[in-house]
Structure 1
Amino acid sequence: MKITSTLLTETERSNLVKILAKILPCATYSSDLTSDVTILVANPSRSSDWLQSRKFQYVVQYRPEVSIVKYEGILTCYEGWLRGEEDDSTKGDGILDSLTSVDVFEGLKVSISRLNESLDSESVDKLKELVEKHGGQVSESLSSDSDVLVSTIPEGRRYTKAKEWEIPIVSPDWCFDSVDRGSALGFKYYTLVKKYGKGRKSDSCDWDKLKAWREKDEEDRNIRRAKLEAALEGKRTGKRKSENEKKKKGEDYEERDLKVAKIDVKDRIWNSIMREASIGKVREGDGEDDGWETEQKVGLGEAETGSNEFKLLDRGMISSQNQEHPKRESDPLLFSGLKFSLYGFKEEEERILRVVLKEYGGIVAAGGEVDYVIISSEKNEDPNLGGRVITEFGIERCIYYHGRKALEDEKWSRPIFLRSDVEVSDFREALGLEKVDKKIQVAITGFKGIDLSEIERILRKKLVKGFEFCEMFNRECEMLIVGEDGGDSSVRKVRMGRKWGVRMVGWGEVVRGLPNRRAERGSGVRSEVHGEIRREAAKEVAN
């Protein structure tokens, strides 16, 4: 089995290689889309850029035998493997059926315009239903972050704006044909060039090849299903024999087996997560791996030579490892000399945290003076245990960035304490927003990696009483939180936000402005609206 990926960051690709070595040790990772590749891994949750990937477009058009799966699905599979949730359906070829495929319109923001002028209401409703059923969001309005505009009339305000913002404009049959293919077809084959125009379906995909492959794939699936059922039946038969033997011998095999299972799962989790799979950044950058050059392989089945490093033969990865981050494995000295106490965690969370801290040289003290009190980010009360108070996010960031600097990070590592009776009005008053009885609709831009992960978790969970997180930035949003990693998309959102009167702030400003936050503020966290994005946001004040 050979696997490749498209438009993953260097970090994600490094993680993928190491995880695949665990769950698919006989597989091979290739940077190139070669003729024997059977799996293409993409991460649609990060952005829709994967649609423009040459690998993705080629697979959709000519390679129906290649499964396009989610990077997050690989992580889910790995988590199950760590918990010991393996069975015959998640081993060897059976894993193909357990991986999560990228849906046809996965995460796409599909705007529609003037469809009722050429389609009956039933067809329009069916189009909307298909898009939403297959992972997309349908909107009858157009914004700068829309991914595609579906229309039948090449005129009008939305059409003009889509052209201005360089948003693809396609005919409705793009939606229906994409569902038939099982993946989003190339926009260029369905570009709307005339009134009521149709796309070039015959050019968008090798339909004959797709049909032949589907027939063969169905046969293969039936064979795998039959093998799995036979294996399960064999296990049931073996279990019955085992139970009969236990009765005859009078021994408590069940208790012994349970102990063995527990030891195995525990060792597997900690040996894998803490020593090899606490994978940090390989290097900064967008990490596009869409190369079509001479194949650079990474052998996943090679034995580890007394260390925790894999033989990564990708030249870019080797270069970045040797020069920028010479030590990628767990750093046993990261928290050396630091004493921690834990507060507010569930039993399993605390157990994991203890193991992590020990793995990186930290000490979890039972009492006495400590350097840091780690409090669950879900808690709202100050434990008053002495020591500097941080959340698990601080530890997470230290491991991610391979340094202690994150422990002092006011924006990300400090706890947010909210009153139990805090209301929407408190958030609005604290942040200087209009006093109305509804949650603050907030969108984000310019965040990636661990920042993106943590800010979404905080907004969706910790601050859910005051904020409603919006996946799509539109004129209904009252606030846009701008990070430092924004590109052209962030600049466009800031421009649109200024036009719509949306308040734009950095994450530090939000944290400082929250109601009833702890008195310890740190020293002047500055706005995260940077560079061109900051200049654009500044115009809001000037105007």
Structure 2
Amino acid sequence: MAQNADVLNGQLPLKGVILCCTALPQDVRTGLGEAAAQMGAIHKLDLTADVTHLIVGAITTPKYKYVAKERPDIKVLPPAWLDAVREAWMEGSDVDVDALERTHRLPPFSGLQICLTGFEDIEQRNWISQTAADHGATYHGDLTKAVTHLIAAAPQGQKYTHAKRWGLSVVSLKWFEHSMERGMAVDEAFYDPTMPIDEQGVGAFKRHIRPRTSLGKHGRDGESQGTDAVRKKLRRTASTRLESQSQDMWMDMSAGNVKAAPTEHDQWSHQGDNLPVNDSIAITKPRPSAGQHSPAGQSGLPSDANALFSGCHVLTHGLEGKRLKSVRHVLLQNGATIAESTAMLEDASCAPFFKQRYLVVPHTTRSSSNGLPDVPPGTVIVTEWWVERCVHYKQLLDPIDDALSQPLGYEQTPDFADLLVSTTGFTGVDLRQIAEAVKLMGAVYQEKILPSTTVLVSGVDTVRKEKAFYAHKHKIPVVSAHWMWECLKTKKRASFAKFSLPLPAINPKDFVGDPSTSSPLPSDAASKDSERRGTR
């Protein structure tokens, strides 16, 4: 029996091989799967953790990009490899599968159309063009719309400008070098020529093959506890990273926006998080997107499967310069997949662990704009503010329930021209974005409540007594944040009465100060304090 098993194994050259295909027509994929099964292989439609070989028709798909970044253990081959194995097997000779894998390895630039710009050294230019051609690419001396990749020595020049305008992939020389090192075309998003050279390629791919672990083997109790400790540490690290990004990375994105001065705390402090649950400063607490779930326990998950934007495939449109760089950096660092074109976005549903497609546009974009790209049905349109808010709240927000995550795109109207808006109870990202939203509506944002204020918008259900007294004294309507969201939704001034907040009972004797010039304070001690730091 043992001898018969050995003979059988020798007759099945692909025994132990698990195949997955990408960018192949269904009939071709079916035929390859049947041929592979005859030779002992297993064919899977999904890219699971146990896949050993990826059969590739084109290198622009999410499956290919994921393998390039995360799976150095998978062998990437063209359909011709399977044909060669089958031909040798049919001849009855010994099949050297390893040798056929080496001779049929898919070139890293297979099918790409490459052009260069900014390389003055003729020898270097000739070396790049010849190496690209030797490894599957077609080299173009002139830039045309047929070019897929422009390798730029520096982010300047006519070719660079036209390539960006046409939406071509523009990468640095480091992308070319790292792709040669990896043996696959690595993700272009890590190689923007505008990035500092030492930041380019960081996290683009893994250089070591990960060890395969037995699914049937369980650790002892002590080992399990150690693993739990590591997981807790990773969660703390991820949380710290999100807070750091929320605090440090978004000032560039808000360049030119209203600079709302802090009222209660520093505008990047998270003390607002300590408010009672019912006093949430968000849009009645932003709700997570329906597509968000914990992927724990699923097989084949990538190492960053628990990342904030894991499974989200994102196409950006209309963002430029530092704002675009910041958005892409935060998305990539938190597990998102960047789509470089609408075609890649359409293919996203074939990717492992796919959840949702997103189109990220500037917050000033009109949601009905004719200038938006033609994206696949079901793509959710969000803004760079949505990215910031997801990071701030550490959850994937549903823009349907979060007005500040949606494109605002206002044309200023007379409805808001005479409005002087002040706020209370907002901190951090909400404070800054709501100030900018007021400006987009055509109203004027006031950092402090004044007698001239038209309306006071509160992010909490209970307004501080001194502000309530001041508003009451100057006949200033006090409304909930829902008034603001209604204005943003309808593009019309909402009724103050409909969203009016009940004010706390007020005893005028508790307050001092000139009612015509300053906000009242609750006590003599507070009055002395105001002399030191000014009345809010």
Q: TM-score, normalised by structure 2?
A: 0.35
Higher-RCO chain (CA-CA 8 Å, sequence separation at least 6)? 1
The structure richer in helix per residue is: 1
Rg bigger for which structure?
Answer: 2
Q: What TM-score do the two structures reach when normalised by structure 1? A: 0.35
